[in-house]
Structure 1
Amino acid sequence: MEEQQSPFQAAIKPGLTIGLVSLALTFVAYFIDSTLLGSAWFGLVALVLFFVLIIYFGKQYRTEIGGFMSFGTAFNFSFITMVISGLVGLIGQVLLFHVVDPSLAGVLADQAFETQMSMMESFGQDPDAMDPAVLEEMKSSTAKGFTLSGQLMNFGFGLIVYAIIALILGAILKKRDKSLDY
C-alpha cells in the first residue's frame, strides 16, 4: 500500500509548476512589450490561470487521496501551493527588476501612477487641484513597491491575500464522503 502525501508534500510540485508558469508568462509578456506587465488585463489573465491551475492540481490531489478531502486539507494544500508559487514568482521578479532590466521598475511605477491619476479623474477628482507634495508622495510610494524591500513587503501582504484565496479554494476543493453519514 502506497503512503499518502501530506498536503504540504503534495503542494510542492504544483507550487513549483504554477510559479514557473507564472514566471514564464511574466517573461514572455516582458519580451513582447514590458508595459503589458502593468496592465490590468494581464493581471486578470494571470489570476484566472492561477485559480484554474490550483483547482486542477487540487482535484488531482483529492483523487490521489481517495476522492475525498476535508476543508482543512484543501485549505492547506491551496495555501502552501500559493506560497511556493509566490516565492518562485518573487525570485523571478527580483531578477527581472534588479538584474535583467533595472529600468523596468521605473517604467512600471510611472505606468501605475498614471493609472492612479486616470482612476482619480474618473471618480471626479482633479489631480491638478491636488497638493503637489501629495502627488509626489503618491508617485514615490508607487515606485517603492518595485524596490527589493517593497517586493518583500508586498509578498508579506500577499500572504494575507493567499490565505483568503485558499479559503475560497478550500471550499471549492473539499468533498465529503457522504457514505459515512448515518
Structure 2
Amino acid sequence: MENQQTPVKAGLNAGLILGIVSVVLTFLIYFISPESLASFSTGMVILAIFLGALIFLGIQYRKSIGGFMDFGTGFKFAFIALIIAGLIGIVGNFLLYNVVDPELPGVLVEAQLETTMAMMERFGAADAMTPEQIDEIRNGAASNFTLVGQLKGFGFALIFYGIVALIVAAIIKKRDKSLDY
C-alpha cells in the first residue's frame, strides 16, 4: 500500500507554505507602502490570496490521497494549516514590528486612527468623540502590535480559522460515489 500523508502532516506542510507566503507578502507590502498594511482593501486581497492558496493546497492533498476526502479530513487539514500559518505570521510580524522597523506600529496606529475617524465622520459621529475617547482608540490599536496583543489576536483568530476551515473543508471534500449502494 502506498504511503499516504495524514491530514496533520499535510496541514503542517501547507501551513508552512502559507505562513511563509504570508510573511513574504507582508514584507513586500511593507517595502512598497507601509501604510497599506493598515488598509482594509489590502487585508481583503491578502485574505483572498490566502484562501485561494489554501483551497489549492487542499485539492492537491486530496489528489495525493486518492482523489477523495471526507469533510472531517478536510477540516483537520485546513485548520492545522491555518494555525501553523498564523503562528508563522506572528513571528514575521514580531520581527517586522520590533527588529526591522520599530517605528512602524506608530505609523500603522495613526493610519488606523485616520481611517476610523473618517468612517465616524461619514456616520456623523466624529464630532461626538472626546480627546480621551480618541486616545483610548489609539492605545487600543497600539496594543495590537505588541507580542501580547499579537498572541491575544491569535486567540480570537482561532475562531475565525475554525470558520474558514469549515468553509474550505466543504469546498475540498469529495465523496467516492462508487461506494454508494
Contact kept? 2:20, 2:88, Cα under 8 Å: yes
TM-score by length of 2: 0.96
The percentage of counterpart residues that share the same residue type is 53
Instruction: Give the TM-score of the pair, scaled to structure 1.
Output: 0.96
Q: Which residue does the alignment assign to 1:23?
A: 23
Deviation of the 1:150 alpha carbon: 0.5
- Secondary structure (helix, strand or coil) at the match of 1:67 reads coil
In the aligned structure 2, how far is the partner of 1:134 from the partner of 1:26?
Answer: 30
Cα deviation code 1:71-125 (max 9, x no counterpart): 0000110010111111111100000001111110010011111111111112221
Matched to 1:158, the amino acid is A
Aligned length: 181
Q: 3-state DSSP class of the match of 1:176?
A: coil
> What letter is aligned with 1:124?
G
Distance 1:67 1:50 in 2: 23
Give the aligned partner of residue 127 of structure 2: 128
Q: Structure 2 CA distance, aligned partners of 1:43 and 1:17? A: 19
SS in 2 for 1:47: helix
Q: Distance in 1 between matches of 2:20 and 2:104?
A: 20
Shift of 1:128: 2.8
Partner-residue secondary structure (3-state), 1:153? helix
Offset from partner CA, 1:1-49 (integer Å, 9 cap, x none): 2221110011122111111111111111111111111112211111011
Which residue is 1:103 aligned to?
A: 103
> Which amino acid in structure 2 is aligned with residue 16 of structure 1?
L
- Tell me the CA shift for residue 167 of structure 1: 0.6
Q: Which amino acid aligns with 1:159?
A: L
C-alpha contact 2:121 2:127 (8 A) present in aligned 1: no
Where in structure 1 are there 5+ consecutive unaligned residues?
Answer: none
Q: How does 1:63-142 map to 2 (within 5 A)?
A: 63-125=63-125, 127-142=126-141
Tell me the residue number matched to 2:158.
159
Distance 1:139 1:12 in 2: 36
| Structure 2 partner of 1:145 | 144
Q: Within 2, Cα distance between the matches of 1:35 and 1:67?
A: 43
